[in-house]
Amino acid sequence: MRVAFYAPLKPPDSDRPSGDRTMARLLVRALGQAGHTVELAARLRSRDAAGIPDRQRRIAGVGRRLADRYVRSVRSGRRPAPDLWFTYHLYYKAPDWVGPAVADALDIPYVVAEASVAGKRAGGPWDSSHRAVLAALARADLVIGFNSRDAVAVEPTLGAEGRYERLRPFLELPTEPADTAAREGLAQHLALPIDQPWLLAVGMMRPGAKTASYRVLARALDALSDRPWRLIVVGDGPAKAQVMAAFEPFGDRIRMIGTVEAARMNEIYTAVDLMVWPAVQEAYGMALLEAQAAGLPVVAGDVGGVPDIVRGGRTGILAPEGDTSAFALAVAALLDDPARRHAMGQAARRTVLAEHTLDGASIALDRWLRAAVGRRGDGRR
Protein backbone atom coordinates (compact mmCIF):
# COMPACT_ATOMS: atom_id res chain seq x y z
CA MET A 1 0.00 0.00 0.00
CA ARG A 2 0.98 3.62 -0.43
CA VAL A 3 0.88 5.55 2.86
CA ALA A 4 0.71 9.35 3.09
CA PHE A 5 2.63 10.11 6.30
CA TYR A 6 2.42 13.34 8.28
CA ALA A 7 3.80 14.43 11.67
CA PRO A 8 2.35 17.86 12.55
CA LEU A 9 4.61 18.38 15.58
CA LYS A 10 7.91 17.67 13.83
CA PRO A 11 8.56 15.96 10.46
CA PRO A 12 10.77 12.87 10.52
CA ASP A 13 13.38 14.63 8.36
CA SER A 14 13.78 17.48 10.86
CA ASP A 15 17.35 18.36 11.79
CA ARG A 16 16.37 18.78 15.47
CA PRO A 17 16.77 15.56 17.47
CA SER A 18 14.03 14.52 19.88
CA GLY A 19 12.12 11.47 20.98
CA ASP A 20 9.23 12.60 18.81
CA ARG A 21 11.42 12.65 15.72
CA THR A 22 12.84 9.25 16.65
CA MET A 23 9.40 7.67 16.86
CA ALA A 24 8.28 9.26 13.59
CA ARG A 25 11.29 7.76 11.86
CA LEU A 26 10.70 4.39 13.47
CA LEU A 27 7.09 4.36 12.28
CA VAL A 28 8.22 5.11 8.73
CA ARG A 29 10.78 2.31 9.01
CA ALA A 30 8.23 -0.15 10.41
CA LEU A 31 5.78 0.63 7.63
CA GLY A 32 8.50 0.24 5.03
CA GLN A 33 9.60 -3.07 6.54
CA ALA A 34 6.02 -4.30 6.16
CA GLY A 35 6.28 -3.59 2.44
CA HIS A 36 4.41 -0.29 2.27
CA THR A 37 5.54 2.73 0.29
CA VAL A 38 5.67 5.74 2.61
CA GLU A 39 5.65 9.33 1.32
CA LEU A 40 6.05 12.38 3.49
CA ALA A 41 2.80 14.08 2.52
CA ALA A 42 3.25 17.40 4.36
CA ARG A 43 5.84 19.22 6.45
CA LEU A 44 3.61 21.86 8.03
CA ARG A 45 4.53 22.27 11.71
CA SER A 46 1.21 23.10 13.34
CA ARG A 47 2.53 23.58 16.88
CA ASP A 48 1.37 26.64 18.77
CA ALA A 49 3.15 26.51 22.11
CA ALA A 50 1.87 29.85 23.40
CA GLY A 51 -1.88 29.49 22.85
CA ILE A 52 -2.40 32.33 20.36
CA PRO A 53 -5.79 31.94 18.61
CA ASP A 54 -4.80 34.12 15.64
CA ARG A 55 -1.75 31.97 15.04
CA GLN A 56 -3.88 28.83 15.17
CA ARG A 57 -6.28 30.33 12.61
CA ARG A 58 -3.40 31.16 10.29
CA ILE A 59 -1.95 27.66 10.60
CA ALA A 60 -5.39 26.16 9.98
CA GLY A 61 -5.66 28.23 6.80
CA VAL A 62 -2.30 27.01 5.59
CA GLY A 63 -3.37 23.45 6.37
CA ARG A 64 -6.56 23.78 4.33
CA ARG A 65 -4.63 25.12 1.36
CA LEU A 66 -2.09 22.30 1.59
CA ALA A 67 -4.92 19.74 1.73
CA ASP A 68 -6.56 21.27 -1.38
CA ARG A 69 -3.24 21.28 -3.22
CA TYR A 70 -2.55 17.66 -2.27
CA VAL A 71 -5.97 16.50 -3.45
CA ARG A 72 -5.65 18.39 -6.74
CA SER A 73 -2.24 16.85 -7.38
CA VAL A 74 -3.67 13.34 -6.85
CA ARG A 75 -6.71 13.92 -9.03
CA SER A 76 -4.60 15.41 -11.80
CA GLY A 77 -2.25 12.42 -11.75
CA ARG A 78 0.79 14.44 -10.72
CA ARG A 79 0.99 12.52 -7.44
CA PRO A 80 0.24 8.80 -6.87
CA ALA A 81 -2.98 8.24 -4.94
CA PRO A 82 -2.39 7.03 -1.37
CA ASP A 83 -4.29 4.09 0.07
CA LEU A 84 -4.48 5.77 3.47
CA TRP A 85 -3.38 8.82 5.43
CA PHE A 86 -1.26 8.26 8.54
CA THR A 87 -0.76 11.07 11.09
CA TYR A 88 1.70 10.69 13.94
CA HIS A 89 1.24 12.52 17.25
CA LEU A 90 -1.97 14.48 17.53
CA TYR A 91 -2.57 16.79 20.48
CA TYR A 92 -3.98 20.22 21.25
CA LYS A 93 -0.76 22.13 20.61
CA ALA A 94 -0.18 20.41 17.27
CA PRO A 95 -3.45 19.39 15.58
CA ASP A 96 -3.77 17.96 12.08
CA TRP A 97 -5.23 20.60 9.77
CA VAL A 98 -4.38 18.59 6.63
CA GLY A 99 -5.06 14.87 6.92
CA PRO A 100 -8.81 14.68 7.66
CA ALA A 101 -9.64 16.92 4.69
CA VAL A 102 -7.47 14.85 2.34
CA ALA A 103 -8.92 11.57 3.64
CA ASP A 104 -12.47 12.86 3.17
CA ALA A 105 -11.82 14.14 -0.35
CA LEU A 106 -10.10 10.93 -1.51
CA ASP A 107 -12.34 8.59 0.53
CA ILE A 108 -9.40 6.81 2.15
CA PRO A 109 -8.84 5.69 5.76
CA TYR A 110 -7.53 8.26 8.19
CA VAL A 111 -5.15 6.73 10.74
CA VAL A 112 -3.62 8.37 13.82
CA ALA A 113 -0.74 7.03 15.91
CA GLU A 114 -0.35 8.56 19.38
CA ALA A 115 -3.13 10.96 20.27
CA SER A 116 -4.18 12.68 23.46
CA VAL A 117 -7.25 14.67 24.46
CA ALA A 118 -7.04 17.55 26.94
CA GLY A 119 -10.61 18.46 27.82
CA LYS A 120 -9.47 21.36 30.01
CA ARG A 121 -8.36 23.20 26.85
CA ALA A 122 -11.96 23.59 25.67
CA GLY A 123 -12.94 27.25 25.68
CA GLY A 124 -9.39 28.43 26.38
CA PRO A 125 -6.67 29.86 24.17
CA TRP A 126 -6.19 26.50 22.41
CA ASP A 127 -9.92 25.94 21.89
CA SER A 128 -9.80 25.79 18.09
CA SER A 129 -6.86 23.40 18.12
CA HIS A 130 -8.57 21.24 20.75
CA ARG A 131 -11.70 21.06 18.61
CA ALA A 132 -9.59 20.16 15.57
CA VAL A 133 -8.15 17.21 17.50
CA LEU A 134 -11.65 16.03 18.46
CA ALA A 135 -12.83 16.33 14.85
CA ALA A 136 -9.84 14.38 13.58
CA LEU A 137 -10.38 11.58 16.10
CA ALA A 138 -14.08 11.42 15.26
CA ARG A 139 -13.09 10.99 11.60
CA ALA A 140 -10.36 8.41 12.31
CA ASP A 141 -10.79 4.87 11.05
CA LEU A 142 -8.00 3.74 13.36
CA VAL A 143 -6.14 5.24 16.33
CA ILE A 144 -2.98 3.53 17.57
CA GLY A 145 -2.13 4.39 21.17
CA PHE A 146 1.39 4.27 22.64
CA ASN A 147 0.37 5.62 26.05
CA SER A 148 -2.17 3.47 27.88
CA ARG A 149 -3.27 6.38 30.07
CA ASP A 150 -4.35 8.36 26.99
CA ALA A 151 -6.89 5.69 26.04
CA VAL A 152 -9.41 6.73 28.69
CA ALA A 153 -9.88 10.16 27.09
CA VAL A 154 -9.27 9.21 23.46
CA GLU A 155 -11.49 6.16 22.93
CA PRO A 156 -14.79 7.96 23.72
CA THR A 157 -14.05 10.55 21.01
CA LEU A 158 -13.90 8.00 18.18
CA GLY A 159 -16.70 7.61 15.66
CA ALA A 160 -19.02 4.62 15.71
CA GLU A 161 -16.74 2.58 13.43
CA GLY A 162 -13.42 3.92 14.65
CA ARG A 163 -11.02 1.36 16.11
CA TYR A 164 -8.47 1.80 18.89
CA GLU A 165 -5.39 -0.43 19.08
CA ARG A 166 -2.57 -0.32 21.62
CA LEU A 167 1.07 -0.59 20.63
CA ARG A 168 4.00 -0.32 23.00
CA PRO A 169 6.71 2.17 21.95
CA PHE A 170 9.38 0.29 20.04
CA LEU A 171 12.98 0.42 18.84
CA GLU A 172 15.23 -0.91 16.14
CA LEU A 173 17.63 -2.67 18.45
CA PRO A 174 21.37 -3.16 18.07
CA THR A 175 22.21 -6.84 17.77
CA GLU A 176 24.24 -6.77 20.98
CA PRO A 177 24.96 -4.17 23.68
CA ALA A 178 27.99 -1.98 23.09
CA ASP A 179 31.43 -3.28 24.04
CA THR A 180 32.17 -3.14 27.78
CA ALA A 181 35.32 -1.19 26.97
CA ALA A 182 33.00 1.78 26.43
CA ARG A 183 33.21 2.57 30.17
CA GLU A 184 36.98 2.81 30.13
CA GLY A 185 36.92 5.05 27.08
CA LEU A 186 34.27 7.34 28.57
CA ALA A 187 36.13 7.49 31.88
CA GLN A 188 39.21 8.80 30.09
CA HIS A 189 37.29 11.16 27.85
CA LEU A 190 35.26 12.75 30.66
CA ALA A 191 37.80 12.33 33.48
CA LEU A 192 35.40 10.22 35.54
CA PRO A 193 36.39 7.89 38.40
CA ILE A 194 35.73 4.46 37.01
CA ASP A 195 35.05 2.92 40.44
CA GLN A 196 32.12 5.22 41.33
CA PRO A 197 28.49 4.87 40.12
CA TRP A 198 27.65 6.93 37.04
CA LEU A 199 24.16 8.31 36.57
CA LEU A 200 22.75 9.43 33.22
CA ALA A 201 20.06 11.98 32.35
CA VAL A 202 18.95 12.53 28.75
CA GLY A 203 16.57 15.32 27.81
CA MET A 204 16.12 18.39 25.68
CA MET A 205 16.82 21.63 27.53
CA ARG A 206 13.75 23.70 26.83
CA PRO A 207 11.46 25.73 29.10
CA GLY A 208 8.54 23.95 30.72
CA ALA A 209 8.37 20.26 31.57
CA LYS A 210 11.94 19.43 30.54
CA THR A 211 13.43 22.15 32.73
CA ALA A 212 11.13 21.05 35.55
CA SER A 213 12.49 17.51 35.24
CA TYR A 214 16.06 18.74 35.51
CA ARG A 215 15.21 20.77 38.60
CA VAL A 216 13.55 17.80 40.31
CA LEU A 217 16.64 15.74 39.53
CA ALA A 218 18.97 18.39 40.94
CA ARG A 219 17.00 18.62 44.18
CA ALA A 220 16.93 14.83 44.50
CA LEU A 221 20.69 14.57 44.00
CA ASP A 222 21.24 17.25 46.62
CA ALA A 223 19.72 14.84 49.12
CA LEU A 224 22.29 12.22 48.04
CA SER A 225 25.42 14.32 48.47
CA ASP A 226 26.76 11.88 51.06
CA ARG A 227 27.01 9.10 48.45
CA PRO A 228 29.59 8.73 45.68
CA TRP A 229 28.13 9.34 42.22
CA ARG A 230 28.73 11.24 39.02
CA LEU A 231 26.06 12.49 36.62
CA ILE A 232 26.37 12.68 32.83
CA VAL A 233 23.82 14.95 31.17
CA VAL A 234 23.03 14.54 27.47
CA GLY A 235 21.00 17.35 25.93
CA ASP A 236 20.96 20.94 24.77
CA GLY A 237 18.52 23.69 24.01
CA PRO A 238 17.34 27.20 24.81
CA ALA A 239 17.05 26.52 28.57
CA LYS A 240 20.63 25.29 28.92
CA ALA A 241 21.59 28.19 31.20
CA GLN A 242 18.79 27.34 33.64
CA VAL A 243 19.77 23.66 33.65
CA MET A 244 23.42 24.53 34.24
CA ALA A 245 22.42 26.80 37.12
CA ALA A 246 20.44 23.97 38.75
CA PHE A 247 23.50 21.68 38.74
CA GLU A 248 26.17 24.29 39.43
CA PRO A 249 26.35 23.49 43.19
CA PHE A 250 27.57 19.96 42.40
CA GLY A 251 30.79 21.13 40.76
CA ASP A 252 32.82 18.41 39.07
CA ARG A 253 30.27 15.72 39.88
CA ILE A 254 28.42 16.80 36.71
CA ARG A 255 29.44 16.29 33.08
CA MET A 256 27.26 18.11 30.55
CA ILE A 257 28.17 16.79 27.13
CA GLY A 258 25.51 18.40 24.93
CA THR A 259 23.77 16.65 22.06
CA VAL A 260 25.13 13.22 21.19
CA GLU A 261 24.71 11.40 17.89
CA ALA A 262 22.36 8.42 18.07
CA ALA A 263 25.12 6.06 17.00
CA ARG A 264 27.13 6.95 20.14
CA MET A 265 24.28 6.83 22.63
CA ASN A 266 24.30 3.04 22.95
CA GLU A 267 27.93 3.20 24.10
CA ILE A 268 26.99 5.74 26.76
CA TYR A 269 24.01 3.68 27.93
CA THR A 270 26.27 0.65 28.27
CA ALA A 271 29.01 2.56 30.12
CA VAL A 272 26.87 4.10 32.89
CA ASP A 273 25.18 2.46 35.87
CA LEU A 274 21.73 4.02 36.18
CA MET A 275 19.37 6.13 34.07
CA VAL A 276 17.65 8.88 36.10
CA TRP A 277 14.85 11.02 34.68
CA PRO A 278 11.91 12.52 36.64
CA ALA A 279 9.83 12.63 33.41
CA VAL A 280 7.62 15.58 34.39
CA GLN A 281 4.65 15.61 31.96
CA GLU A 282 6.42 13.00 29.81
CA ALA A 283 4.39 11.04 27.26
CA TYR A 284 6.62 7.99 27.73
CA GLY A 285 10.25 8.90 26.97
CA MET A 286 12.17 7.22 24.14
CA ALA A 287 15.49 7.66 25.96
CA LEU A 288 14.14 5.54 28.84
CA LEU A 289 13.37 2.77 26.37
CA GLU A 290 16.75 3.07 24.64
CA ALA A 291 18.54 2.86 27.99
CA GLN A 292 16.73 -0.32 28.95
CA ALA A 293 17.46 -1.86 25.56
CA ALA A 294 21.14 -1.46 26.39
CA GLY A 295 20.64 -3.21 29.74
CA LEU A 296 20.44 -0.09 31.91
CA PRO A 297 18.03 0.10 34.88
CA VAL A 298 15.92 3.24 35.24
CA VAL A 299 14.58 5.52 37.93
CA ALA A 300 11.79 7.65 36.44
CA GLY A 301 8.62 9.54 37.23
CA ASP A 302 5.40 7.55 37.30
CA VAL A 303 3.57 9.64 34.72
CA GLY A 304 1.86 9.28 31.34
CA GLY A 305 3.00 6.21 29.45
CA VAL A 306 6.27 5.78 31.36
CA PRO A 307 4.90 2.67 33.15
CA ASP A 308 4.26 1.18 29.69
CA ILE A 309 8.02 1.01 29.12
CA VAL A 310 9.51 0.96 32.66
CA ARG A 311 8.19 -1.97 34.65
CA GLY A 312 8.23 -0.65 38.19
CA GLY A 313 10.09 -2.99 40.56
CA ARG A 314 11.40 -5.14 37.71
CA THR A 315 13.28 -3.02 35.16
CA GLY A 316 13.52 0.08 37.34
CA ILE A 317 11.80 2.12 40.03
CA LEU A 318 8.97 4.60 39.43
CA ALA A 319 8.46 7.58 41.75
CA PRO A 320 5.37 9.82 41.87
CA GLU A 321 5.63 12.65 39.34
CA GLY A 322 7.52 15.63 40.75
CA ASP A 323 8.08 14.00 44.17
CA THR A 324 11.69 14.94 44.90
CA SER A 325 11.97 12.91 48.11
CA ALA A 326 10.56 9.75 46.57
CA PHE A 327 12.83 10.14 43.56
CA ALA A 328 15.88 10.57 45.79
CA LEU A 329 14.96 7.46 47.80
CA ALA A 330 14.58 5.44 44.60
CA VAL A 331 17.98 6.54 43.30
CA ALA A 332 19.56 5.84 46.70
CA ALA A 333 18.08 2.33 46.77
CA LEU A 334 19.81 1.43 43.50
CA LEU A 335 23.03 3.29 44.26
CA ASP A 336 23.32 1.21 47.43
CA ASP A 337 22.54 -2.13 45.76
CA PRO A 338 24.73 -2.92 42.72
CA ALA A 339 23.35 -6.47 42.50
CA ARG A 340 19.80 -5.17 42.23
CA ARG A 341 20.89 -2.64 39.60
CA HIS A 342 22.43 -5.43 37.55
CA ALA A 343 19.36 -7.67 37.84
CA MET A 344 17.04 -4.84 36.80
CA GLY A 345 19.28 -3.99 33.86
CA GLN A 346 19.21 -7.58 32.63
CA ALA A 347 15.43 -7.70 33.03
CA ALA A 348 15.13 -4.42 31.16
CA ARG A 349 16.96 -5.71 28.10
CA ARG A 350 14.99 -8.97 28.08
CA THR A 351 11.72 -7.03 28.29
CA VAL A 352 12.60 -4.70 25.42
CA LEU A 353 13.70 -7.61 23.24
CA ALA A 354 10.40 -9.37 23.94
CA GLU A 355 7.91 -6.51 23.79
CA HIS A 356 9.31 -3.38 22.11
CA THR A 357 10.84 -4.38 18.79
CA LEU A 358 10.58 -2.88 15.32
CA ASP A 359 9.75 -6.31 13.91
CA GLY A 360 6.79 -6.75 16.24
CA ALA A 361 5.50 -3.25 15.56
CA SER A 362 5.82 -3.74 11.80
CA ILE A 363 3.69 -6.89 11.89
CA ALA A 364 1.00 -5.27 14.06
CA LEU A 365 0.86 -2.06 12.01
CA ASP A 366 0.55 -4.00 8.77
CA ARG A 367 -2.35 -6.04 10.12
CA TRP A 368 -4.24 -3.02 11.46
CA LEU A 369 -3.74 -0.86 8.36
CA ARG A 370 -4.86 -3.57 5.97
CA ALA A 371 -7.96 -4.10 8.11
CA ALA A 372 -8.72 -0.35 8.03
CA VAL A 373 -8.44 -0.26 4.23
CA GLY A 374 -10.61 -3.36 4.02
CA ARG A 375 -13.33 -1.89 6.21
CA ARG A 376 -13.54 1.28 4.14
CA GLY A 377 -13.47 -0.76 0.96
CA ASP A 378 -16.49 -2.67 2.25
CA GLY A 379 -18.32 0.63 2.67
CA ARG A 380 -17.92 0.79 6.46
CA ARG A 381 -15.95 3.28 8.56
Averages of pLDDT over runs of 10 residues in the chain (381 residues) are 97 89 96 98 96 97 98 98 98 97 98 96 96 98 94 96 96 67 92 96 95 98 97 96 97 96 89 97 92 96 94 97 97 98 97 96 98 83 42
Cα gap 374→369, rounded to integer Å: 9
Q: How far apart are the first and last CA of the chain?
A: 18
For residues 31 and 42, the answer to whether their CB atoms sit within 8 Å is no
Q: What's residue 173's pLDDT?
A: 80
Q: Which of 298, 281, 304, 300 is nearest to 351 (CA)?
A: 298
For residues 162 and 140, the answer to whether their CB atoms sit within 8 Å is yes
Q: What's residue 381's pLDDT?
A: 42
Q: What's residue 18's pLDDT?
A: 85
Q: What's residue 176's pLDDT?
A: 58
CATH code of the region 181-355: 3.40.50.2000
For the chain, the structural domain boundaries read 2-171+357-377, 181-355
**Architecture label for domain 2-171+357-377:** 3-Layer(aba) Sandwich (3.40)
Q: What's residue 223's pLDDT?
A: 97
DSSP structure class, residue 149: G
